[in-house]
Amino acid sequence: MDTTPEARELIRGADKVLHVVGDPLAAAWIEGLNPTAESLATMYIGGATREEIYAAMVDKIMVCVRRTRQLCVAFYGHPGVFCYVAHEAMRLARLENVIVRMVPAISAVDWLFADLGVDPGAQGCQSYEATTFLLCGCRFDPYAALLLWQIGAIGDPGWPCSANSQCLELLTEYLKPHYGPHHEVVIYEAAWDPVSDPSITRLPLAELPQAHTTLGSTLFVPPRGPLRIDPQVIKKLDQKVLALLTSRSLK
């Protein structure tokens, strides 16, 4: 479990700890730091929708907020990334004049940049939740990197399940005109613990519908090619400024 020294001390020093983590080892580690720790993962029960589960988690957090001098809530990944519960609980707590603070952590995208050797500053990086990306027909630049989160739950309005081939086919057909069928994409899933390896599957875009995905799968689509420079802008820029910008982009 990746945590900063500050996050560890906040967990250790809290009067009460709640947590939502992805594996028993992480839960045991948190509970070893603070014996008051209590898991919210028990709220993931069969038959309940995500909205119902998240609402129950927020309610539990707010009960503890009102009863506890110093509460710490730990989430797997980054607490601000795809974490409705954290944002909603903080919003409600502030309405009650409670001082709240979010401490950043390491998310799957941080590991993706490291594991795939990707520099998001080289040509830019776009990030979308996969279902939203399709439903809204999001406009994007194929000459910048594209990240699509939760491709394993495309189109499911309730509890997430592994994406079927029809969902991935829809995504593939949406991307094909921009990249072509042979453009290499990567299905990525970060390692769950320090002794495991990340899951990295490279394949042509056309083969995406037949690929295996999980709820933790992220699709990384590399840029179609180098960034295109606008000749009209070149004329307007001082050559020294252009040289400086070019050297920075290649750094």
Do residues 192 and 108 make contact, with C-beta atoms less than 8 angstroms apart?
Answer: no
Among 8, 44, 66, 76, which one carries the catalytic annotation? 76
d(CA 150, CA 130): 6
The pLDDT tens digits of the residues spanning 190-235 come to 987 777 899 999 999 999 999 999 888 999 999 999 988 887 877 7
Residue closest to 221 by CA, chosen among 137, 136, 148: 148
Q: Can you give the pLDDT at residue 216?
A: 86
Q: Can you give the pLDDT at residue 192?
A: 79
Among 50, 128, 143, 224, which one carries the catalytic annotation? 50
Per the annotation, the verdict on 76 as an active-site residue is yes
163-171: long-range pairs with CB below 8 Å, 24+: 163/213, 165/209, 165/210, 166/209, 168/208, 168/209, 168/211, 168/213, 169/209, 170/134, 171/130, 171/133, 171/134, 171/208, 171/219
Among 8, 12, 44, 54, which one carries the catalytic annotation? 54
Q: Can you give the pLDDT at residue 50?
A: 84
Per the annotation, the verdict on 54 as an active-site residue is yes
- Is domain 108-221 classified as CATH 3.30.420.10? no
Domain coordinates in residue numbering, the chain: 5-95, 108-221
Q: Can you give the pLDDT at residue 250?
A: 56
Judge whether residue 40 has pLDDT over 90. yes
Judge whether residue 160 has pLDDT over 50. no
d(CA 209, CA 215): 15
DSSP collapsed to 3 states, the chain: CCCCHHHHHHHHHCCEEEEECCCHHHHHHHHHHCCCCEECHHHCCCCCCHHHHHHHHHHHHHHHHHHCCCEEEEECCCCCCCCHHHHHHHHHHHHCCCCCCCCCCCCHHHHHHHHHCCCHHHHCEEEEEHHHHHHCCCCCCCCCEEEEECHHHCCCCCCCCCCCHHHHHHHHHHHHHHHCCCCEEEEEECCCCCCCCCEEEEEEHHHHHHCCCCCCCEEEECCCCCCCCCHHHHHHCCHHHHHHHHHHHCC
CATH number attached to the domain at 5-95: 3.40.1010.10
Q: Can you give the pLDDT at residue 85?
A: 96
**Average of per-residue pLDDT across 25-38:** 94
